[in-house]
Amino acid sequence: MSTKRKRYSADFKAKLVLKVLEGDKTINEIASEYEIIPKNLINWKQHFLENMSLAFDKSSVVKEYKEEIENLNKVKDELAKKVGNLTIEKDFLEGKLVSLASSKERQVLVDSKHTLSLNKQCRLLHVNKSSLYYKPTKPFSTSRDIGILDAINNIYSDFPSYGYRRIYKQLQKDGYNVGKKFVKKAMKYMGIEALYPKPNTTIPNKAHYKYEYLLKEFRNYAGQIVIDSINKVWSTDITYIKLEKGFVYLAAIIDWHSKKILSWQLSNTMDVSLVTGVLKDALVLHPKPEIFNTDQGSQYTSKAHTDILKKHNIKISMDGKGRATDNICIERFWRTIKYEEIYLNEYKNIRKLKKAIERYMNSYNSKRLHSAIDYQTPNEVYYQAVNNLVSKGVKKLHVVS
């Protein structure tokens, strides 16, 4: 019994991508609800974001297809001219093929969909027709295997953090007589793997350019980075937060001097749109910084992110490889929010988590006393400096396109 690969319509994919972009549910919750593999949702979202500009610029697509049709017509004319020569050459090559190719190689050349009958093809290629009907067994094609794959999928939908060992144990309890190796191969065949907290959210892309770390000049005698004014250095990073089902990612931008969180966003996928979105929000709400510091993650080294910084004449700074302490300001904030809010509570869905983070961010900026800024709040330090600049005639906000 053979399995057919599931195919999803464009409308179905668009519907699920919109649900992902709404950000109300995790990838795993949406995937479980619609009985699909989480990896598909991530791929569909990425494809949608890469091609959404086509909805507003159809002319380029039409032009591309016209050029393609013209090229195909040219190729067609050339092929028509060659038909006469090929007819003559065909008879010559048929004779040579039998002497040059092995029986197995000639067998591969048989085409069941060709207009020539199988009998004639076999005769021309000198292939035994009976050898065509032998087919090796496809993996996981028996009814028993398909039943086990369904059971694995159900277990994974309920417990996406399970690896092959736990799924194996659960299958044993459910009465399936399978081995660990079988479960491991089956999960690989299905394209699923255990979801668990990954401490490293920095995934570099070797093809992207890495910028120099510019904060070395601000180190004091003790090796600490000391920034003496607001909007001189901004830092950003991404951290993960575990929900009841799956994970979400929190990105934030902090002003190094005042410790104020300038903007933040929550997303169920860790992609370029998350970091560009939080950067654009910060630039709309606040004057631009002189230096913007990040790690060497592929999201931050991407062209989409660096182009925004270059457009606003902001110097780009990146941590050294494996040096999380180079971005210590935002790293300390992650520790603060996790110990004061996230680790103390459980969140069943993204909506409740978003409300909780919003409350915390407001409290952190406006009420929480910070020892590094002489027990003032980040808002007090930041806006006092802004007001001083305004009183001296410095423009408060820059123009952001």
Can you name the residues that pair with 263 across neighbouring β-strands?
253
Query: How many domains would you assign to the chain?
Result: 3
- What pLDDT does residue 364 have? 93
Residue 262 has pLDDT above 80, yes or no: yes
Written in H, E and C, the secondary structure of 353-370 is HHHHHHHHHHHHHHCCCE
- What pLDDT does residue 398 have? 40
Average pLDDT over residues 295-299: 83
Which pLDDT band, with edges at 50, 70 and 90, does 132 fall under?
A: low
Residues 177 and 37 in one domain: no
Q: Report yes or no: 205 and 298 within 8 Å, Cβ to Cβ.
A: yes
Within a domain: residue 176? yes
Residues 267 and 351 in one domain: yes
Within a domain: residue 121? no
Residue 189 has pLDDT above 80, yes or no: no
- What pLDDT does residue 254 have? 95
Domain end residue (candidates: 190, 205, 225): 190
pTM of the model as a whole = 0.56
Within a domain: residue 290? yes
Residues 229 and 331 in one domain: yes
Residues 367 and 245 in one domain: yes
Average pLDDT over residues 327-338: 86
- What pLDDT does residue 69 have? 80
Domain with 26, as residue range(s), is 10-56
Residue 173 has pLDDT above 70, yes or no: yes
Question: What CATH number is associated with residue 352?
Answer: 3.30.420.10
Within a domain: residue 95? no
How far from 135 is each of 3, 56, 113, 132, CA to CA, in Å? Answer: 15, 49, 17, 8
Write the pLDDT tens digit of every residue in 18-39: 888 887 888 888 888 888 888 8
Average pLDDT over residues 293-298: 85
- What pLDDT does residue 358 have? 95
Give the 3-state secondary structure of residue 306. helix
Which pLDDT band, with edges at 50, 70 and 90, does 397 fall under?
A: very low
Residues 172 and 282 in one domain: no
Task: At 117, list the tokens.
Answer: 């009958």
Residue 399 has pLDDT above 50, yes or no: no
Within a domain: residue 223? yes
Residues 269 and 349 in one domain: yes
Within a domain: residue 165? yes
Q: Report yes or no: 257 and 376 within 8 Å, Cβ to Cβ.
A: no
State the average pLDDT for the chain: 80
Can you name the residues that pair with 264 across neighbouring β-strands?
252
- Maximum average pLDDT range among 5-9, 161-165, 186-190, 351-355: 351-355
Residues 294 and 331 in one domain: yes
Write the pLDDT tens digit of every residue in 344-380: 888 888 999 999 999 999 999 999 888 888 889 999 9
